[in-house]
Amino acid sequence: MTRDTRWDSLIDDVSVFCIEHGIEIPKFDSFYVFREKSKRKVVEYTVLHHFCVEVSYKVTSDLLHGMTCLSPSQSFENFNIEKIMRLVALYPDDFTNYDLAELRCQLENYIINVGSENIRFSSLNEIGDLSKKLVETNKHLVYSHVYRLIKFSFLLPVAIASVERAFWAMKFIKTDLQNKMRMTS
């Protein structure tokens, strides 16, 4: 199934949901209206482009960049606190405001303690090795929020694949149920 087909399928499913719940369906081929505090500005792309590119790809990009920043490869060369914090912003139910402030402090100390100054971590190349080393040295307790993000980075590829498989399977179930419903009516 191509990515465009998946978007079409998703839009169809969302449209059905909106109709069932009395929610206005956006006109995907119309121009997107950007809303600032006091201005409404029409941009040069469609509503569909906005959701496909501006929203979906931005979220995916933030996820991937954030995960890359946690990698110990080449002595934490890609470490970037701001990108990691954008990753965390995608998990609002998992981090309170207090957790966010604490995480930022942990990240600042973590890169000094684990990154360039610690020989035990300097030869690591993969995030799995980093996770093991954090547990072996009990630093997973000191940097608990960082460790939680590392665990999220293990789950994310599995979760994405599982969701895609579930939607793919739902399409067949939905089609099968619709066929059975048509036969009985």
Q: How many residues does the chain have?
A: 185
Q: End-to-end alpha-carbon separation of the chain, Å?
A: 31
For residue 131, tell me if it sits in a domain: yes
Average pLDDT over residues 50-78: 81
How far is residue 89's CA from residue 99's CA, in Å, rounded to a whole number?
Answer: 11
Does 16 reside within a domain? Answer: no
Paired tokens of 5: 């087909």
What does pTM read for this prediction?
Answer: 0.63
Residue 64 is predicted with a pLDDT of: 81
Specify if 173 maps to a domain.
Answer: yes
pLDDT-derived band at 116, boundaries 50, 70, 90: low
The residue ranking higher by pLDDT, 44 or 184, is 44
10-14, 20-24, 54-58: which is most confident = 20-24
Is residue 127 a contact partner of residue 154, using CB atoms and an 8 Å limit?
yes
Dist. CA 59–CA 56, nearest whole Å:
5
Determine if residue 61 is left, alpha or beta; phi over 0 gives left, psi from -120 to 50 gives alpha, anything else beta.
alpha
Domain that holds residue 61: 30-180
Query: pLDDT at position 3, please?
Result: 52
Residue 13 lies in a domain: no
Is residue 11 domain-resident?
no
d(CA 48, CA 152): 29
**Considering the domain boundaries, does residue 7 fall inside one?**
no
User: How many Å separate Cα 30 from the centre of its chain?
Assistant: 27
Residue 149 lies inside a defined structural domain of this protein: yes
Summarize pLDDT for 129-149 with one digit per residue, the tens.
999 999 999 999 999 999 999
In a domain, 3, yes or no: no
Instruction: Provide the number of structural domains found in the chain.
Output: 1
Q: What's the pLDDT at 28?
A: 78
**For 105, which DSSP code?**
H
Q: How far apart are CA 29 and CA 51, in angstroms?
A: 12
